[in-house]
Structure 1
């Protein structure tokens, strides 16, 4: 009997990230990075924005996405 090759989870993830899903993930990372950067620039012009609760929540969510990103 011959053995059937079963790719590991790491190999499957590598193939997925080299394809279309990897491109989408990188574009999502880029857009979120630009969003955080634009919030920072807005803070430079509007000091009241730095105390906004919604800004802190958004930054925490986006940072969490970056942390758990493949």
Structure 2
């Protein structure tokens, strides 16, 4: 399984992984592609459909507003 590194949450110890660059250097610079993680072997991988910054932005938008004293 190959996932964008920003979507990986956790994985079992039994899972082997390798991080690599997605695409060519040109596509990384011009297209915004970054790093991906390749997972192999038995075990489970947990991932999220939003990258970390988008997930945090969404969570903050759902939190009640802070009221100062």
Larger Rg: 1
Normalized per residue, which structure has more strand? 2
Regarding TM over 0.5, the answer is: no
Normalized per residue, which structure has more helix? 1
**Which TM-score bucket, shorter chain as reference?**
under 0.3
TM-score, structure 1 normalization: 0.25
